[in-house]
Structure 1
Amino acid sequence: MKYSILTVLLVLFTSAFYRSQQIRFPEGFILGKQDFLKDQIFISTNLLVQNGFDVKKNPDVTENKKVISQFAENFNLEDISKIYFEIYADKVNQNEEGISIAVLEFKTIDKLKNNMKTVDEIGLFIPIYFVIDNYVIVIYSENRYLINKISNFYTERLGAKYYSPKK
């Protein structure tokens, strides 16, 4: 009897701990007011629209396939259910993009895995990819300092794993 009570308590504690560790979308991915972003501001929606983005606000979560396609060049859009994005500019030079992150929520882990097989390096602006569960985090920037800080943020906070695209 004593062992069965202990077993039940252990199972309850373990399941509660597991639920507390589950990733919430988009809350678990929001960079927010991190110290390493103190020299960055969100790019205005007007400037994003002028540069061809079909967005209503920044940051945002959307299921709009047109918006998703602007961040997910390497992926099958039908496999993605939502996207969360944040687009920053340097406070001093606000006309230029500083760093962008996009978190793609895939419908299933299998769909994510199949899509990651097709990811390759694209263009001059090579994105950095991290994967966790059914999410892909894509970081776009040429600022190595911010890339490293954001990479550390997602690996330490969520346990995201770096994904190296095929060449």
Structure 2
Amino acid sequence: MSVTTRRLSAVKKRAALIAGAMVAAGLIAAGGGAAHATPADPGPGTASTAGNQSGNLPPAEPDYTAILKPGPPIELSNSEYGFIATHEVTKQLDRVNVVGGIAGLPVPPQYRAANDGLALQFGRALDGALSTPGGCIQMVISRGHAGSLFDYGLFAVEGQYCN
């Protein structure tokens, strides 16, 4: 077995481990629901960009490194598919360092920034979910835009909504 074949085999095993941890280890499927409504407040998993009261300054840039605030699950449109992990699976994803696994996946250079962004977002959702008793994460998958196959959203969910 060549070095390249062994590396490819290890990558496949790591990807299967991540996928298995996310899907087979207790994620709860939540199919499409009511159409998205634009919320009055940003809700969970969003970074707010509130401007100052005087209106003299532009809104602040969102902090993409902040922990996501846990809240209720995001409602899905009919064109989206989502999963809500149990609290135990959420803790397991943190223990096995799924964020490091995603960040460490070998991807072509043009996809490195997107892959690192997914890892960062996953980490923010995990940290937010684990900051509340019984919290969990929700993954929402929708049709991709601008040349991507899928778009992923990761959200921190309050413990009262997690099994």
Q: Same fold (TM over 0.5)?
A: no
More strand by share: 1
Q: Which has the higher contact order (CA 8 A, sep 6+)?
A: 2
> Under a length normalisation based on structure 1, what TM-score does the superposition of the two structures give?
0.28
Structure index of larger Rg? 1
> Under a length normalisation based on structure 2, what TM-score does the superposition of the two structures give?
0.29
